[in-house]
Amino acid sequence: MRITDIRTVQLTRRFSHPQRNSCDIRTERRFTFVLVDTDAGFTGIGEASGNQNLIAPIIAAHYRNRAVGLDPTDSEGLWRKLYAGGAFWEIGGSPVCALSAIEVACWDIRGKAAGVPVSQVLGGAKRDWIDAYASDLHWDEPASMADLARRYVDQGFRWMKTHIGAEYDRDLLRLEAIRRAIGPDIGLMIDINTVYDRQTAREQGLRQAAFDPFWFEEPIAPADYAGHAWLKERLPMPIAAGENLYTLSGFEPLLACGGCDYVMPDLLRCGGIGQGRLICDAAESAGATATPHNYSGGVGLAATLHLMAALPATRLLEFDPTGTAIYEELFVEPLTVKDGRVRVPTAPGLGVALTDEIIARYR
């Protein structure tokens, strides 16, 4: 089997209410889906994170001609050819995000060609349901965030994540309102989105520790490995990081210095399913817990579910219940969420399909 073409489709979902974190405000989300065609009639679907303005041009100008003619079922060979096939390597950023989408699409092809779900290609599903946390409680007024948190509990979620970091004192009011709304037994993740420096992260982390965070996510710049280790020694709550790192090589310094308790590779950024598996295995060997990051459409969600099903040491799926993703429409089988858990797809491949109806709705 050989790749005959790679195409991209970009869709947009606009919000009725803006989403804000410590770094920016969004009024819409764009999704770039990558379609890999083959001479056997199978088309794989991938999804790209990164800068949505750059993905399609990178694939058209940099990857498409190099990928045509390659075997999509040879994941390692395809990776070497596209990632390390030239004198000048693209070791991170949008080029790796674009390559991640192609790689994920090729896993979809492998599953479809074999007539089995991707979790089976990865060695078999060790579980049918994955515990999930609600992501996200985006930055808002304390009462609004508390009301939404309470609704997530009512939906059955036992963990949830909030974004703060923009206003130090009022952030404490937000955390107080959320914790009061959900009670002491619900896990509350705090995501800073890298906005603090080391000292601010220590000072604010000690103040936020009063609300018993389940973890303290991306408090500082992602490549400040030593800073993560420094914080880990000085704060009482676990540190989570990794969504902005690329490939196993990018995670190795963080693991080597013991910089975090929870390791968060994003399959649409870190290099795809193959690199994600290597990173999760390395995290387990280093004594950390792998909990893949997932802020995506339904393709990224499906890929993450399949990998986590095959790797039982991974924990806690990041699931977006805000209604701003493109989740349910893409799943071939109904997307099943019950009591804070998400069912692993069982259809061949990833179990997703990009229909004309979806494209027309979000073009």
Domain harbouring 125, CATH code: 3.20.20.120
Pair 110, 195 in one domain = no
One domain for residues 47 and 185: no
Residue 359 domain-assigned (yes or no): no
pLDDT at 24: 79
> Is residue 313 scored above 80 in pLDDT?
yes
Q: Buried b / exposed e across 326-361, counting CB within 10 Å, b at 16+?
A: bbebbbbeebebeebbbbbbebbbbbbbbeeebeee
CA angle, 362 as apex, 31 and 51 as ends, to 5°? Answer: 20
Residue 81: Cβ within 10 Å count: 17
Residues 340, 233, single domain; the answer is yes
Residue 327: its pLDDT value, please?
Answer: 93
23: confidence class by pLDDT, cuts 50, 70, 90: confident
- Name the residue range of residue 296's domain: 121-354
Q: Is residue 111 part of a domain?
A: yes
Statement: residue 86 has pLDDT above 80:
no
The answer on 98 and 178 residing in a single domain is no
Per-residue pLDDT at 55 exceeds 80: yes
Q: Is residue 269 part of a domain?
A: yes
Same domain, 208 and 137: yes
Q: For the ranges 27-31, 57-61, 130-134, which has the lowest average pLDDT?
A: 27-31
The pLDDT assigned to 26 comes to 78
* Dihedral of the alpha carbons of 159, 315, 192, 151, in degrees to the nearest 10: -20
Sign of CA dihedral 202, 208, 209, 210: positive
Going by pLDDT thresholds of 50, 70 and 90, the confidence category of residue 85 is confident
**d(Cα 104, Cα 52) in Å, to the nearest integer?**
17
* pLDDT tens digits along 135-145: 989 888 999 99
Residue 80 shares a structural domain with residue 204 = no
In a domain, 324, yes or no: yes
**DSSP letters for 15-82:** EEEEEE-SS-EEEEEEEEEEEEEETTS-EEEEEE-S-TTTHHHHIIIIIHHHHTTS-TT-HHHHHHHH
pLDDT at site 48: 96
Clarify whether residues 317 and 286 are in a common domain: yes
Do 206 and 317 fall within a single domain? yes
DSSP per-residue codes, 140-185:
--HHHHHHHHHHHHHTT-SEEEEE--S-HHHHHHHHHHHHHHH-TT
Among residues 130, 62, 124, 66, the alpha carbon closest in space to that of 96 is found at: 62
| Structural domain includes residue 190 | yes
Query: What is the pTM (predicted TM-score) of this model?
Result: 0.97
Number of domains in the chain: 2
| Domain end among 116, 140, 169 | 116
8 has a pLDDT exceeding 80: yes
Which of 60, 91, 116 delimits the end of a domain? 116
The answer to whether 232 and 225 have CB atoms below 8 angstroms apart is: no
Q: Give a yes or no: residue 360 inside a domain.
A: no
257-291: pLDDT as tens digits? 999 999 999 999 999 999 999 999 999 999 999 99
Of 79, 100, 116, which marks where a domain is finished?
Answer: 116
- Assess whether 66 and 146 both reside in one domain: no
Check whether residue 134 and residue 203 sit in a common domain.
Answer: yes
Up-side HSE of residue 225: CA atoms within 13 Å toward CB? 12
Half-sphere exposure of 146 (CA within 13 A, CB side): 15
- Over residues 205-247, the pLDDT tens digits come to 999 999 999 999 999 999 999 999 999 999 999 999 999 999 9
Domain shared by 24 and 95, yes or no: yes
| pLDDT recorded at residue 166 | 81
Q: Does any domain span residue 333?
A: yes
In a domain, 363, yes or no: no
Asked whether residue 105 falls in the same domain as residue 138, the answer is: no
CATH code at position 53: 3.30.390.10
pLDDT attached to residue 21? 76
190 CB-near residues (< 8 Å, 6+ apart): 161, 162, 164, 175, 208, 213, 215, 216, 217
